[in-house]
Structures are given as structure tokens and as C-alpha cells.
């Protein structure tokens, strides 16, 4: 008699796409071993031969071309795919917007997909998930290019805190998304369409849909599964974008097929004393929610190619204590790092980082450096006639930051809504 030990642990609801309006209730998904009735043992979806132009990916004209010559998923004539192709063709300016947003990051994403040996179509998923909008939020609290939910992000080691949300960091988010997709591909026995659908709606729903079809003697391929409307159109959107590339039915503005960013080590947090000079950092590192404070983030920083030395020189020559951004604090008897950190709305790890402390031991009379992150953290109540643009202009902040601070997925406000606004020190 065999005893099968089944280990169940709570994981992570599926990632939410921003490109569909119907709302689906986010569910907690349980990772389960393959079902005993072999409902998941069908072969993968058909894979077309790789399109060959007798050139290496590194020799492609641009990044879109690099993707095109490596497409693997079979073309589909399914109505849902063709309807999305028609939608793209009726919106010729769409790819111009997408390309502008994707330009800093697409080469990196393509490289990561290639490095892992995954289908190149996965590099198109941020197009489907977020329209390549790094600051995108969904009604399911998913965020960033890959629309990672908090549960999925934290499961794969992505940091989310008061001043940093790693779901909007291209490095951490891409790693987490591809890790998750790799898991789902294995979970669904090599069927990429099922894996991608599960990325969108949660693996539990896809498992149940497959089992139901199996019991009813129906096909278990993706197009026959009973799934939420959003997910039924999710995979077709990806296939449609791939078809447009494969058949060159639509212009994709060129993105240079060469590295556009450098990823450098960041040993400790920094508060910029020249926000205008380094404004590009906010574009490339959107995970920092209270720019120009680069605090509590990952151990790396994304820079435009060729800017690494300038950054190193800048950090090396930062004034020890910019008067408008730092303050000295004299340690009093009875103080501890946790007490001081709480009093100044920072974490103990940040406090130790600012002062290069290797331990938590402090002595009365010593001084610590503390950042002045903001003069005010206010709560603003939305009034009649308000809009995000008006509020942002009034407080001299950006609309994207207000949305980021308040996890807003839309621009619509209701009278009486309360918004958190951070006013930087003058």
C-alpha cells in the first residue's frame, strides 16, 4: 500500500490584465500535484518551426525583428485571435505608443527570455498585461509591466514596502514573472497556452476547467475551456500580436537591437540632491514611490547605457549632509534603533544603511544621520470638480505618483475619496 503525501500550500492568485474591463474575483490558488485522472497529460499546443532568416538573433535589425525570427507558437485562425488582429489593425498608432514605452526595457526582457530558453512570445506578455506601462495598477491590485499581484510578487522574493514596490522594477519583476511562468509550464505538463491562461486567472481555475472538460468528454485544449471572459481573450491577444509580427501586417517602430540599460550594484540608499539631473532615474526605476528618495529598494539601480561612471562619480561626491535633505539626531538615553526609526517613519534597516551601522548597538550622545523625506504626508479629500490632473498640479506632483501612492488603477475619482499625498521638502 502506497501512502501519497500531498503537500498543499497557499499560493497566489493569477496576474490581472489591464486590457479587459470585466472584473473577476481574485482567488487564492492552491498548488496541487497533477490530478490522478490524467486531465493534464495532453500534449502541448502545436509549436511551429522557428522562422529562420539565416541570421542570429543578435544580428537582427531591431528588437521586434529579433522576436519575429524566433516565434514558436503555431499560427491560429481562431475567431478570437482574428478579432484581436482586426482590432490592432484598426488602431495603427497603438504600436507607436507601445514601442515608446517598451524601448528602455524590451531588449533586456528579450535577453532574459532567451537566456532561460523560453518561447520568445513571452517577451510580448507585458504588451498584453500592461501596455508596457511600468506604473500600471489593476483593480485586482496587480502592478507593473508584468501585473504581478502582491502574493505572487512576495512568493518570488519581490520586495514591496512604503518607499519601494519591486513589481514596478523591470529586473525583479521580470525575474519573478518568468519564474512563475516556468513553474506554470511544468505544472501544466508543457502546455504553454494553459500556463499563460493560468498566469492571468490563476492555476486553480484552469485546473478545474480542464477537469470539467475531461469528465464531459470534451477537448481540453485552451480554446475549448470554460474560463472567465478576460482569460478567454488573453491568450488570443498574445497570439494576435505574434501574428502581426510574424506576417508583418503592422508597423512596429524600430527599437535598437542593443543594450539600452546598465544594471549596477546599489550598496545603500541615496537621496538625490539634483533631481532634475537624474530625472531619467524615475523613468528607469519606477519602483521608488517617493522619488528622489532611492530608499528601501533592491541591491541594484537601472541606468541608461553609458551612465554608470557618471553615477558612480556623483555618488562618490555627494555632500555628506545636504542641509535640505538630512538632519542630525543626537541619541538620548533609552533610545533604540527601533524607537528612533518609528519616530521618524523609517525602518531600522534604512536607519542602519544611512549610518553604515553593522550592528544595532548605539550609545547615548552619538549622532545619527536621518533623511528628511517629506515635510508633510497629507490626506486629501476629493471635492466636486477635482481630477487627478488638477490635484497633481495643485500639489506640484505627478498624476502617476498620486496613482502609485494610492494604488489607483483608473483616473476616475469620486467625491469624498481620500488620497494620500507626499509633499517633498523644499
Give Dmax (Cα) for the chain: 77
Query: Rounded distance, CA 180 to CA 187, Å?
Result: 10
- Are 142 and 15 within 8 A, CB to CB? yes
Q: Which grid cell sits at 224? A: 475549448
The whole-number mean pLDDT for each consecutive block of 10 residues of the chain, a chain of 426 residues, reads: 37 46 33 38 47 79 95 94 96 93 97 97 96 86 93 94 88 97 97 97 96 96 96 96 94 95 87 83 90 83 95 77 62 90 80 78 85 68 86 83 78 85 67
Helix and strand numbers, DSSP H then E, in the chain: 17, 10
Cβ count within 10 A of residue 241: 24
CATH dotted code for 326-371: 3.10.350.10
Residue 398: predicted pLDDT? 82
Residue 223: predicted pLDDT? 96
The ranges assigned to domains in the chain are 63-161+170-247, 259-317, 326-371, 375-421
**Per-residue burial over 9-20, b = 16 or more CB atoms within 10 Å of its CB, e = otherwise:** eebbbbbbbbbb
Q: Which grid cell sits at 282? A: 524615475
Q: Does domain 375-421 have CATH number 3.30.420.40?
A: no
For the chain, the C-alpha Rg in angstroms (whole number) is: 24
Residue 356: predicted pLDDT? 66
Residue 13: predicted pLDDT? 46
Instruction: Write the DSSP string, 126-154.
Output: HHHHHTT-TT-B-TTS-BTTTTB-HHHHH
Which residue of the set 24, 112, 121, 129 is catalytic? 129
CATH dotted code for 63-161+170-247: 1.10.530
- Are 238 and 53 within 8 A, CB to CB? no
pTM for this one? 0.73
Residue 52: predicted pLDDT? 52
Residue 375: predicted pLDDT? 54
Query: Rounded distance, CA 337 to CA 321, Å?
Result: 20
Burial class (CB in 10 A: 0-12, 13-18, 19+), 144: buried
Active site residue 307: no
Query: Rounded distance, CA 231 to CA 200, Å?
Result: 6
Q: Do domains 63-161+170-247 and 375-421 have the same CATH topology?
A: no
Amino acid at each position: 500500500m502506497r501512502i501519497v503525501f500531498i503537500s498543499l500550500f497557499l499560493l497566489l492568485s493569477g496576474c490581472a490584465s489591464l486590457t479587459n474591463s470585466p472584473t473577476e474575483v481574485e482567488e487564492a490558488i492552491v498548488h496541487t500535484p497533477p490530478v490522478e485522472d490524467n486531465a493534464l497529460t495532453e500534449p502541448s499546443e502545436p509549436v511551429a518551426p522557428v522562422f529562420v532568416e539565416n541570421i542570429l538573433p543578435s544580428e537582427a535589425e531591431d528588437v521586434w525583428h529579433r522576436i519575429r525570427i524566433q516565434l514558436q507558437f503555431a499560427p491560429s485562425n481562431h475567431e478570437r485571435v482574428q478579432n484581436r488582429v482586426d482590432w490592432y489593425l484598426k488602431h495603427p498608432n497603438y504600436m507607436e505608443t507601445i514601442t515608446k514605452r517598451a524601448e528602455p526595457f524590451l531588449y533586456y526582457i528579450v535577453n532574459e527570455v532567451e537566456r532561460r530558453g523560453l518561447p520568445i512570445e513571452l517577451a510580448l506578455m507585458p504588451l498584453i498585461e500592461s501596455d508596457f506601462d511600468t506604473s500600471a495598477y489593476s483593480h485586482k491590485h496587480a502592478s507593473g509591466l508584468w501585473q504581478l499581484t502582491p502574493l505572487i510578487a512576495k512568493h518570488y522574493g519581490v520586495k514591496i514596502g512604503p518607499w519601494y514596490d519591486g513589481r514596478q522594477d523591470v529586473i525583479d519583476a521580470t525575474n519573478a514573472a518568468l519564474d512563475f511562468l516556468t513553474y506554470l509550464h511544468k505544472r501544466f505538463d508543457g502546455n504553454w497556452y494553459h500556463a499563460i491562461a493560468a498566469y492571468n486567472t490563476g492555476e486553480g481555475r484552469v485546473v478545474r476547467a480542464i477537469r470539467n472538460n475531461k469528465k464531459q468528454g470534451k477537448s481540453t485544449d485552451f480554446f475549448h475551456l470554460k474560463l472567465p471572459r478576460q482569460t478567454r481573450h488573453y491568450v488570443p491577444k498574445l497570439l494576435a500580436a505574434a501574428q502581426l509580427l510574424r506576417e508583418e501586417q503592422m508597423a512596429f517602430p524600430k527599437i535598437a537591437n542593443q543594450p539600452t540599460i546598465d544594471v549596477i550594484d546599489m550598496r545603500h540608499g541615496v537621496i538625490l540632491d539634483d533631481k532634475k539631473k537624474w530625472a531619467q532615474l524615475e523613468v528607469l526605476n519606477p519602483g521608488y514611490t517617493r522619488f528622489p528618495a532611492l530608499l528601501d529598494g533592491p541591491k541594484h539601480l537601472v541606468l541608461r547605457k553609458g551612465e554608470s561612471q557618471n553615477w558612480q562619480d556623483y555618488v562618490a561626491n555627494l555632500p555628506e549632509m545636504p542641509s535640505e535633505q538630512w538632519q542630525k539626531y543626537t541619541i538620548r538615553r533609552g533610545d533604540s534603533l527601533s524607537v528612533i526609526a518609528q519616530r521618524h517613519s523609517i525602518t531600522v534597516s534604512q536607519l542602519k544603511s544611512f549610518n553604515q551601522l553593522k550592528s544595532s548597538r548605539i550609545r547615548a550622545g552619538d549622532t545619527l544621520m536621518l533623511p528628511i523625506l517629506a515635510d508633510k504626508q497629507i490626506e486629501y479629500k476629493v471635492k466636486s470638480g477635482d481630477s487627478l490632473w488638477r490635484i497633481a498640479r495643485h500639489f506640484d506632483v505627478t498624476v502617476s505618483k498620486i496613482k502609485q501612492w494610492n494604488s489607483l488603477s483608473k483616473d476616475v475619482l469620486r467625491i469624498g475619496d481620500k488620497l494620500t499625498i507626499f509633499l517633498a521638502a523644499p
